[in-house]
A and B are shown apart, each in its own frame.
Chain A
Amino acid sequence: MTLCTLPGTATMSRTISIDPVTRIEGHARISLQLADSGEVEDAKFHLTQFRGFEKFCEGRPYREMPALTARTCGICPVSHLLASNKACDDLLAVSIPPTAEKLRRIMNLAQLLQSHALSFFHLSSPDLLLGWDSDPAQRNIFGVMAQNPELAKQGIKLRQIGQTIIEMLGGKKIHPTWVVPGGVNEPLDSSKREAMLEMLPNALTIAKDTYALFKTMVPRFKDEAEHFGTMPTMFLSLVSPKGQLEHYDGFLRLKDAEGRIVEDMVPPSDYPRIIGEAVEDFSYMKFPYYKPMGYPNGIYRVGPLARLNNADSCGTPFADVALAEFHMLQEDSGPVRSSFHYHYARLVEIIFAIEMMQRLLKDQGILDTRVRARARGNRNEGIGVAEAPRGTLMHHYRIDDAGLISWVDLIIATGHNNLAMNQSIKQVADAYVDGNKLSEGMLNRVEAMIRCYDPCLSCASHAFGQMPLSIELKDAAGNTLDRLVRDA
């Protein structure tokens, strides 16, 4: 890292650019606009890459959509696979066999487990364990290995268990094609069930140990918890018909910042009534908002934090205890508002995922061989909504009478959080960024706040560890006042 201060640091309107943001899934840039006084005037989170899935899927047979849209993401392809297949189920107008639904749920929970483990252990734990101001060369999973090898090993093991379950069910760890419109294309084998059940107790032990460790660490991050995205927003997620934590099906629930239910038991197919999408010229990511409140007032958050805030209970023993403890993070009785606690929520969900997988695998009907409903396109419009690790994922397709895609709308989990991420950057920059002097620790906090949301931007590439980073302070005339460069 080199730091050079250029002459002429007179205070006036300037822009700080963090490009690229590191240890997130995808590539993005953050720009901070400073006022003459040196205070942060505006903050923007730019998604700088264009994918075009909604356009190039047009004209393709709808049965290709699960495999096509899964390619948006190498970290959470299962989430796209499920949301897409649910949209296709809707096009077929079928109810899939109950065993197929349970099998899909197991795969979704395994995906949740591996993705949350990746986010917590590989991407965020370096900040939490080693500190924001530690040497960037060490602040990665290898640094964690050096300081706490047992924790690093456990994190890798936990992710491996999730990936292995996906592979056992779908034949491949990444981009399995086992889930198909109408169900799944192969029933579960009893030997695979036994093998999965054998792995899960170890996973639960790791998850509970990590949760216990993190609980002791949370008080240390009081300052971050107070400044990392505590703005009042609503929370959107699926809940079960009983109001419990739900990741595969159910109904949409929207709670406001005070905990009042704004929308409840909204069928996923009714999402266009409540969700609108705005576009800004500084980012390729769309800005979804709650329609009745308009843009940008209809700001809401999705993901683990929103799911736990919205759920009345989890429905599994250890996760329910952890949920009660999660709610104690907020001093008043309202929802947990700090985005810093996404990390906490992730650990609670890991426990839930393992417990729920155990329950589903022990289900008597899980080995049933009737796992697929066969039909052809019976509707011209289909909507599939599922909870991805990062939040509510919506796939919406229209097909012509021959079954070819004529229109696609994908609302990705990270997109829902777009407004909230932008506001959170502003908040954390207000607290930590000194416009007159740049420091590594200050920028790390801005980046770390974004990591709380675990954004999945390109969904395909994984920016891991140290990436080239350059931040510049410019005056209103475009002159560089200060420059911080971190080499690759």
Chain B
Amino acid sequence: MPINAPPPSVRVVTLRIDGLDLSAREDETIIEVCRENKIPIPSLCWMDGLSVVGACRLCMVEVTGQNRLLAACATRVAEGMEVTTDSEKLRRYRRTLVELLFAERNHVCSVCVSNGHCELQWLAEACGVDHVRMPYRNAGYGVDSSHEMFRVDHNRCVLCTRCVRVCDEIEGAHTWDLMGRGSDCQVITDLARPWGESDTCTSCGKCVQVCPTGALVKQGTSVGEMVKDQHFLPILARRRSTR
């Protein structure tokens, strides 16, 4: 769903995805059309109701006539476009990307409060990640448990920036942001102050609910008990766009 309401004059295009002839509005992206038509494409950073960053690269697709893979979340549909969402090459790429996420930080599912309710875990299952082929970095990342209600565990963060965007675009607080580069990059609250000391955080919990992993969780939850509820987001996003 586009965030902004479509103008009445919006055009409709026809395209083919995985051999299916489909029609879509010209302002839609490939991933939106796929979601509407129940064509599965994995994604971590994309979320209905938030702006697009194209950070995770898991939604890469093949488009006929293009000599490179394109991110389905950041590519608008076009008349006559032919898209392939599932191929041996794409499966290999996606599996490698998921493995790299596991190798970079410390996603130990068995002791995670989000175990069984984690989008990264589901993705790993879907991509057939039964083991990680590259060595784990085993670098220690911090845990900020200073907030009264929530906790951030940077070991489990995939840097999707959903928290950054929902806080800025939906809640309007812009408490979250990014700091550092490469594997040192991490999400921060205010100017890298402890979350519990943040002046801007409204404690609304939207960042926790949109987080795909066990990086942002509620305090007081034990292993496997953190279940995220993301239904609020498209509803709030539509209401804001039609104001």
CB < 8 Å neighbour of B113 from A63, A175, A404 = A63
Q: Are B222 and A177 in contact (CB under 8 A)?
A: yes
Which residues of the partner chain A approach B224 to less than 8 Å between Cβ atoms? 177
Q: Are B110 and A61 in contact (CB under 8 A)?
A: no
Q: Are A404 and B111 in contact (CB under 8 A)?
A: no
Which residues of the partner chain B approach A66 to less than 8 Å between Cβ atoms? 222-223
The secondary-structure label for the interface of chain A is loop
Which residues of the partner chain A approach B153 to less than 8 Å between Cβ atoms? 61
Chain A residue with minimal CB distance to B220?
A: A376
Q: Are A374 and B220 in contact (CB under 8 A)?
A: yes
Q: Of residues B111, B145, B146, which shows the largest number of chain A Cβ atoms within 10 Å of its Cβ?
A: B111
A404 and B115 alpha carbons, distance in the complex (Å)? 20
Chain B residue with minimal CB distance to A171?
A: B224
A374 and B221 alpha carbons, distance in the complex (Å)? 10
Which residues of the partner chain B approach A59 to less than 8 Å between Cβ atoms? 140, 142-143
Q: Does B219 contact A (CB under 8 A)?
A: yes
Q: Are B145 and A61 in contact (CB under 8 A)?
A: yes
Which residues of the partner chain A approach B115 to less than 8 Å between Cβ atoms? 177
Q: Are A402 and B146 in contact (CB under 8 A)?
A: yes
CB < 8 Å neighbour of B222 from A71, A181, A402 = A181
Chain B positions 193 through 223: 1 when the CB is less than 8 Å from some CB of chain A, otherwise 0: 0001000000000000000000000011111
Chain B residue with minimal CB distance to A177?
A: B223
Q: Are A404 and B145 in contact (CB under 8 A)?
A: yes
CB < 8 Å neighbour of A64 from B140, B219, B223 = B223
A245 and B217 alpha carbons, distance in the complex (Å)? 41
Q: Are A403 and B223 in contact (CB under 8 A)?
A: no
A254 and B205 alpha carbons, distance in the complex (Å)? 51
CB < 8 Å neighbour of B219 from A68, A71, A175, A376 = A376
Q: Are A67 and B111 in contact (CB under 8 A)?
A: yes
Q: Are A402 and B145 in contact (CB under 8 A)?
A: yes
Q: Are B220 and A71 in contact (CB under 8 A)?
A: no
Q: Are A60 and B222 in contact (CB under 8 A)?
A: no
Chain A residue with minimal CB distance to B214?
A: A64
Q: Are A175 and B220 in contact (CB under 8 A)?
A: no
Chain A residue with minimal CB distance to B116?
A: A177
Which residues of the partner chain B approach A63 to less than 8 Å between Cβ atoms? 113, 220-223
Q: Does B225 contact A (CB under 8 A)?
A: yes
Q: Which of A370-401 contact B (CB under 8 A)?
A: 374, 376
Q: Does A269 contact B (CB under 8 A)?
A: no
A65 and B202 alpha carbons, distance in the complex (Å)? 30
Nearest chain B CB to A403 CB, angstrom units: 5
Q: Are A71 and B225 in contact (CB under 8 A)?
A: no
Q: Does B162 contact A (CB under 8 A)?
A: no
Q: Are B225 and A185 in contact (CB under 8 A)?
A: yes
Please count how many residues in chain B sit with their CB below 8 Å of the partner chain's CB atoms: 21
Q: Are B146 and A64 in contact (CB under 8 A)?
A: no
Which residues of the partner chain B approach A180 to less than 8 Å between Cβ atoms? 222-223, 225
Q: Of residues B140, B143, B222, which shows the largest number of chain A Cβ atoms within 10 Å of its Cβ?
A: B222
Q: Which of A123-179 contact B (CB under 8 A)?
A: 175, 177
Q: Does B151 contact A (CB under 8 A)?
A: yes
Q: Are A403 and B219 in contact (CB under 8 A)?
A: yes
CB < 8 Å neighbour of B143 from A60, A68, A177, A181 = A60
CB < 8 Å neighbour of A175 from B110, B144, B222, B225 = B110
Q: Are A68 and B220 in contact (CB under 8 A)?
A: no
Q: Of residues A66, A181, A404, which shows the largest number of chain B Cβ atoms within 10 Å of its Cβ?
A: A404
Q: Which of B87-113 contact A (CB under 8 A)?
A: 110-113
Nearest chain A CB to B203 CB, angstrom units: 15
Q: Are B145 and A185 in contact (CB under 8 A)?
A: no
Nearest chain B CB to A105 CB, angstrom units: 20
Chain A residue with minimal CB distance to B141?
A: A59
Q: Of residues A64, A175, A180, which shows the largest number of chain B Cβ atoms within 10 Å of its Cβ?
A: A64
A374 and B219 alpha carbons, distance in the complex (Å)? 11
Which residues of the partner chain B approach A175 to less than 8 Å between Cβ atoms? 110
Q: Are A185 and B143 in contact (CB under 8 A)?
A: no
Nearest chain A CB to B216 CB, angstrom units: 13
Nearest chain A CB to B105 CB, angstrom units: 14
Q: Are B110 and A67 in contact (CB under 8 A)?
A: yes
Nearest chain A CB to B43 CB, angstrom units: 28
Q: Are A71 and B145 in contact (CB under 8 A)?
A: no
Which residues of the partner chain B approach A185 to less than 8 Å between Cβ atoms? 222, 225
A181 and B221 alpha carbons, distance in the complex (Å)? 9
Nearest chain B CB to A184 CB, angstrom units: 10
Q: Are B225 and A64 in contact (CB under 8 A)?
A: no
Q: Which of A43-96 contact B (CB under 8 A)?
A: 59-61, 63-64, 66-68, 71
Which residues of the partner chain B approach A374 to less than 8 Å between Cβ atoms? 220
Q: Are A71 and B111 in contact (CB under 8 A)?
A: yes
A61 and B222 alpha carbons, distance in the complex (Å)? 10
Nearest chain B CB to A275 CB, angstrom units: 28
Chain B residue with minimal CB distance to A65?
A: B111
Chain B residue with minimal CB distance to A175?
A: B110
Nearest chain A CB to B151 CB, angstrom units: 6
Chain B residue with minimal CB distance to A92?
A: B220
Q: Of residues B110, B112, B223, which shows the largest number of chain A Cβ atoms within 10 Å of its Cβ?
A: B223
Chain B residue with minimal CB distance to A59?
A: B143
Q: Are A71 and B110 in contact (CB under 8 A)?
A: yes
Which residues of the partner chain A approach B223 to less than 8 Å between Cβ atoms? 63-64, 66-67, 177, 180
Q: Which of B135-174 contact A (CB under 8 A)?
A: 140, 142-146, 151, 153
Chain B positions 37 through 57: 1 when the CB is less than 8 Å from some CB of chain A, otherwise 0: 000000000000000000000
Chain B residue with minimal CB distance to A401?
A: B146
Q: Are B221 and A403 in contact (CB under 8 A)?
A: no
Given A61-B143, A404-B145, CB of A68 within 8 Å of CB of B222: no
Q: Are B222 and A404 in contact (CB under 8 A)?
A: no
Chain A residue with minimal CB distance to B145?
A: A402
Which residues of the partner chain A approach B112 to less than 8 Å between Cβ atoms? 64
A179 and B49 alpha carbons, distance in the complex (Å)? 37
Q: Which residues of B contact A (CB under 8 A)?
A: 110-113, 115, 140, 142-146, 151, 153, 196, 219-225
- The 8 A-B pairs of least Cβ separation, nearest first, read A402-B145, A67-B111, A180-B222, A67-B223, A177-B223, A68-B111, A63-B222, A177-B224
